[in-house]
Structure 1
Amino acid sequence: MLRRLIYLFLLLPLACIDPYKVEVPEGEQLLTVEGIISTGPGPHAITLTRSATYGSVFEGLIRPVSLATVVIRDNEGNVTFLTESENAKGSYFTPAGFRAQVGKSYTLQILTAEGKVFTSTPERVESVPPIASLEVRTVTIPNKGIETPRSGVQLIAEIDDPADQNNFYFWRNGPAVYILETRPDLFTPRPSPENPNRTPQPKPCCIQCFRSEVGNNQSLFVVNDDNFNGLTARVPAAFIEDDGLRFVNKFRMDLKQYSISQGAYRFLRLVKQQAEISGSIFDPPPATIRGNMISLDNPDEVVLGYFMAAGETSRRIYIDKDDLTFKQIRAIIPDDCREVAGASTNPPADWNP
């Protein structure tokens, strides 16, 4: 028996397997172009970034592309130069008075600081019908592992689709303002030598403010009119999540509706489908979605993103807390509401619920 154990211990080292080192080539930095110009008021923004492909030591890092020359050229030869923002590197803005015009085609051209030249294919601007009305629907979303579901407001847009053209619609949440309510009476300062036990120190002001926020687009809403060409249609156009603050009192938002090109619609639809992949073994693997940007130095170079030119219309909606059939538990901010970013006691000049 002892002899067998000795043989077994002698054989154990032979069973060890050396780790196999996988050599993964470093991925390249891909230019990503994102932006839209429209017939709506400007300025309109084009954002340039570079992101690494799989295998790069910088994978997951997004870098702004600064110091580029960015211009928009229309089919009549007019050229508009964009200016890079001092506060947001990699974001380039049209002059304040610039608006795209229906019937014209626009091309985006980029010259990077390294001397590389990129261009888009022409994008034609189509007219867009107005949003006839907006309906509010409360939506709940199961929250895995948590009893309370996520929830929010879905906006249903009613549009009278023109029969004389094939329309491709895209919606984005515009600027929003809502009445923010906080609890300054619960204010407790951080521990300090003067107040080591964090004794509450209620503040006399202020309970209610008006808080502004930029468009919060968590989902893509796109549709074509194949099923309702020339008819009145009601389609989902936006989702606004209830974070326990937005719908405590009254919420206002401008919904933007765009008429985009068929190419832009196909691109956004693919992005939407890929973003909604559930993650099962039967799902297709993520793929690089090519847009309408190409490199003039190397046509085989992959450029991500899409430059869009579109007709634009918008509609404002006020949503009251009573419009929701399900609301999240109210979030408590134990401080003066003026301490919250984007909040002010003064309502917007055009606040008119």
Structure 2
Amino acid sequence: MLLGGCIDPFPVEVPEGEQLLTVDALIHSGPGPHRVTLTRSATYGSSFEALIRPITGATVLVRDQEGKVVFLTESEESRGSYFTPADFSAEVGKSYTLFIETPEGKLYSSFPERVEAVPPIQNLQSRTLVITQPGGNPPRSGVQLIAEIDDPADQNNYYFWRTGPAVYILQTRPDLFTPRPTETNPSRDPQPKDCCSVCYRTEISNNQSLFIAVDDDFNGLNTRVPVAFIEDDGLRFLDTYRVDVSQYGISQEAYRFLRLVKQQAEISGSIFDPPPATIRGNMISLDDPDEVVLGYFMAASEQTSRIYVRKDELSFVQNQSIIPDDCREVPGAVVDAPLDWRP
């Protein structure tokens, strides 16, 4: 029995994955600057090999159909991110092409992307969305934003929505402040602070999914479409929350790409799920047409709308998260309201 219990290890060799250029780029008709982010995809192997690395020192430019060229500048704070000049905006009806030269001298280009017109958001509303959790766990909740639009009847429209920076009234408990014990101050007793319990906090809002639509079912009609979901973390909706929603008119090819990305991101493990696959975008290598390049360069028209969500408008909120400190210690929080704060 002891001899029969011996196990010989079976060697398994996993081929190392290729690090692929990944492009995340969107220019639009709204005010700039507009961002292009370049990274290398992760590989299999050690934890160091799996890091997604930004591509720095690249030459990035956008050219329109008339040959006008705009060079992008790399950010010093966010390496691998390249920005257009602040006064640059895409023009409806024009086509744009993205060109990239990496520090190694490799050349990449997108296919031309045409900027399609998009109607304005007529109205933006919010409603509470409660998500039940398995195993008797407390439900999650958040705010779903719904846009009302008058879809044009003379063309097919493809929509894409993103949320911009958000501002909300942050409430903390400086009266409960207890410093971390140290050798010079071993006390664990609370040491209340005099200020401040109310701040205005700015954050990059985190949309929980891709929100896209095609007007096959509402061409030429007035319709209401879900365009964002912002989860309640116990802090955002204690008073008033403000967020901007951008509505983009994108090309049919860009819509197909985003639809495939959305399908892949929402795979649940069911036998009915589509098999995972590499999704090709509109970027190609000019040196090697067979090289796989990930991501997409989008050019779109933009319409933006702003909404204030108040606590008394919600039917359910999460239990309050307690921050036992001065609210000014929270990143992105200040005491003074923004100059354009008009709830």
Tell me which of 324, 331, 352 is aligned to 2:342: 352
| Cα offsets for 1:182-213 (capped at 9, x unmatched) | 00000000102343131110001101000001
Pairing 1:221–2:203 present: no
Pairing 1:162–2:152 present: yes
CA shift at 1:24, angstroms? 1.9
Mean alpha-carbon deviation: is it higher for 241-250 or for 275-284?
A: 275-284
Tell me which of 182, 187, 193 is aligned to 1:192: 182
Tell me which of 237, 260, 279 is aligned to 1:289: 279
What residue in structure 1 maps to residue 232 of structure 2?
Answer: 242
What residue in structure 1 maps to residue 330 of structure 2?
Answer: 340
For 1:267 and 1:60, locate their aligned partners in 2 and report how far apart those are by CA, in whole Å. Answer: 25
Mean alpha-carbon deviation: is it higher for 278-287 or for 145-154?
A: 278-287
Is the 1:66–1:113 contact (alpha carbons within 8 Å) kept by the matching residues of 2? Answer: yes
Cα 1:27–1:212 shift into 2, 3 Å: same
Is the 1:25–1:56 contact (alpha carbons within 8 Å) kept by the matching residues of 2? Answer: no
Tell me which of 231, 244, 251 is aligned to 2:241: 251
What residue in structure 1 maps to residue 105 of structure 2?
Answer: 115
Letter in structure 2 aligned against 1:108: L
Is the 1:255–1:315 contact (alpha carbons within 8 Å) kept by the matching residues of 2? Answer: yes
| Cα offsets for 1:86-118 (capped at 9, x unmatched) | 011100000000000000000000000000000
Pairing 1:102–2:92 present: yes
CA shift at 1:272, angstroms? 0.6
Letter in structure 2 aligned against 1:190: R
CA shift at 1:282, angstroms? 4.2
| Cα offsets for 1:124-150 (capped at 9, x unmatched) | 001110000012111111234452111
For 2:119 and 2:74, locate their aligned partners in 1 and report how far apart those are by CA, in whole Å. Answer: 32
What residue in structure 2 maps to residue 5 of structure 1?
Answer: none
CA shift at 1:28, angstroms? 1.1
Letter in structure 1 aligned against 2:42: A
Tell me which of 302, 324, 328 is aligned to 2:292: 302
Pairing 1:35–2:19 present: no
Count of equivalent residues: 343
SS of 2:41's equivalent? Answer: strand
Pairing 1:72–2:62 present: yes
Is the 1:27–1:56 contact (alpha carbons within 8 Å) kept by the matching residues of 2? Answer: no
For 1:143 and 1:137, locate their aligned partners in 2 and report how far apart those are by CA, in whole Å. Answer: 19
Tell me which of 59, 75, 83 is aligned to 1:85: 75
For 1:344 and 1:122, locate their aligned partners in 2 and report how far apart those are by CA, in whole Å. Answer: 43
CA shift at 1:56, angstroms? 7.7
For 1:128 and 1:64, locate their aligned partners in 2 and report how far apart those are by CA, in whole Å. Answer: 32
Is the 2:205–2:230 contact (alpha carbons within 8 Å) kept by the matching residues of 1? Answer: no
For 1:215 and 1:309, locate their aligned partners in 2 and report how far apart those are by CA, in whole Å. Answer: 22
Is the 1:183–1:332 contact (alpha carbons within 8 Å) kept by the matching residues of 2? Answer: yes
Cα 1:192–1:19 shift into 2, 3 Å: closer
Please list every run of 5 or more consecutive structure 2 residues that lacks an aligned counterpart in the other structure.
none
What residue in structure 2 maps to residue 321 of structure 1?
Answer: 311
Is the 1:50–1:65 contact (alpha carbons within 8 Å) kept by the matching residues of 2? Answer: yes
For 2:159 and 2:172, locate their aligned partners in 1 and report how far apart those are by CA, in whole Å. Answer: 38
Pairing 1:209–2:189 present: no
Is the 2:62–2:97 contact (alpha carbons within 8 Å) kept by the matching residues of 1? Answer: yes
For 1:299 and 1:65, locate their aligned partners in 2 and report how far apart those are by CA, in whole Å. Answer: 20
Is the 1:139–1:153 contact (alpha carbons within 8 Å) kept by the matching residues of 2? Answer: yes
Normalised TM-score (structure 2):
0.96
**Percent identity over paired residues:** 71
For 2:286 and 2:142, locate their aligned partners in 1 and report how far apart those are by CA, in whole Å. Answer: 45
Mean alpha-carbon deviation: is it higher for 23-32 or for 336-345?
A: 23-32
Over the aligned positions, Cα root-mean-square deviation in angstroms equals: 1.5
